[in-house]
Amino acid sequence: MLKITDLVKRYGTGEPVLKNLDLTIEGESVVSIIGSSGAGKSTLLRCINQLVKPTSGSIVLNGTELTALRGKDLREARRKIGMVFQGFNLVDRLTVMENVQSGRLGYISTWSAITRNYPKADIRRAFELMERVGIAQYANSRADQLSGGERQRVGVVRALMQQPEILLADEPTASLDPKTSEQIMGLLRDLAGELKLPVVINIHNVTEAKEYTDRIVGMRYGRIIFDDKPDKLDEAAMEEIYAGSPHADRGGDMVKAS
């Protein structure tokens, strides 16, 4: 369970970007976070995985208070949080297997990593996951030879190699064509169920958020102003979340409560 209480994040001396935010995520649910550009979606994910230090408040993942951790404890806790990025964040000149195994850094010795002498169990697990997402045939290909959708599958497998307790994805499909984007969303949803893993996805595509996630959290100016099942996201709620914003993909007629 992830329990965020009274979270505040202020960059420098400006107005807080996250304002006393509360959010609890339980079970293997797939949660999407929507909201205009600048609402604080990425900052929220970065606070969860501690890439950004919250100004105040509490973030507890399965009993561990993350905001209090330092050094080794922090590194250990961060392994439990898998991260998937919009730009995939692969090392282009390395193979798919090497990229995937980088998810094990922190678990294996530096020597094993440098010599690419990966533990057998890690190689087995990598192949299982790569088979699952349909990229096993590319294990020895360089990452930059893959298509965007395939590269994101590598990103997902790398995150899963960490054996995370939660998976965070910051606009994982924003760089993909519409069909590939849907495939990746479907994959994330299915993996959440299969691995009993909560998944939190920042996303601008409201149609996909409605179709592929169980719960939609709407943010505006650093606050959560909507938190409900997708079919409750009606036009009035959309208006409130996106009022005055030219950025939103409002999802066409999907906006209507279904």
- Under rule CB under 6 A, residue 220 binds ligand ATP: no
Residue 51 as a binder of ligand ATP (CB under 6 A): the answer is no
Q: Kindly write out the interface string for residues 22-41 of this chain, putting x where it contacts ligand ATP by CB under 6 A and - elsewhere.
A: -------------x-xxxxx
Q: 9 or 41, CB closer to Mg ion?
A: 41
Minimum distance from CB of 180 to ligand ATP (Å)? Answer: 20
Closer of 34 and 191 to ligand ATP (Cβ): 34
Which residue number, 19 or 79, has a Cβ lying nearer to Mg ion? 19
List, in sequence order, every residue forming a beta bridge with 84; answer none if it has no partner.
Answer: 169
54 binds ligand ATP (CB under 6 A): no
User: What strands, in cross-sheet order, belong to the sheet with 199-202?
Assistant: 81-85, 166-170, 199-202, 30-34, 215-220, 223-228
- Residue closer to Mg ion by CB (options 196, 247) is 247
Query: Of these partners, ligand ATP, Mg ion, none, which one is at the site of residue 35 (CB under 5 to 8 Å by kind)?
Result: ligand ATP
What's the min distance (Å) between Cβ of 59 and ligand ATP? 15
Q: Judged by CB under 6 A, does residue 11 bind ligand ATP?
A: yes
CA distance 223 to 226: 9
Partnered with residue 64 across adjacent β-strands are 61
Site for Mg ion in 24-83 (CB under 5 A): 41-42
Looking at 17, 83, 166, 255, which residue binds ligand ATP (CB under 6 A)? 17
Residues of this chain that bind Mg ion (CB under 5 A) = 41-42
Which residues of the chain form contacts with ligand ATP (CB under 6 A)?
A: 11, 17, 35, 37-43
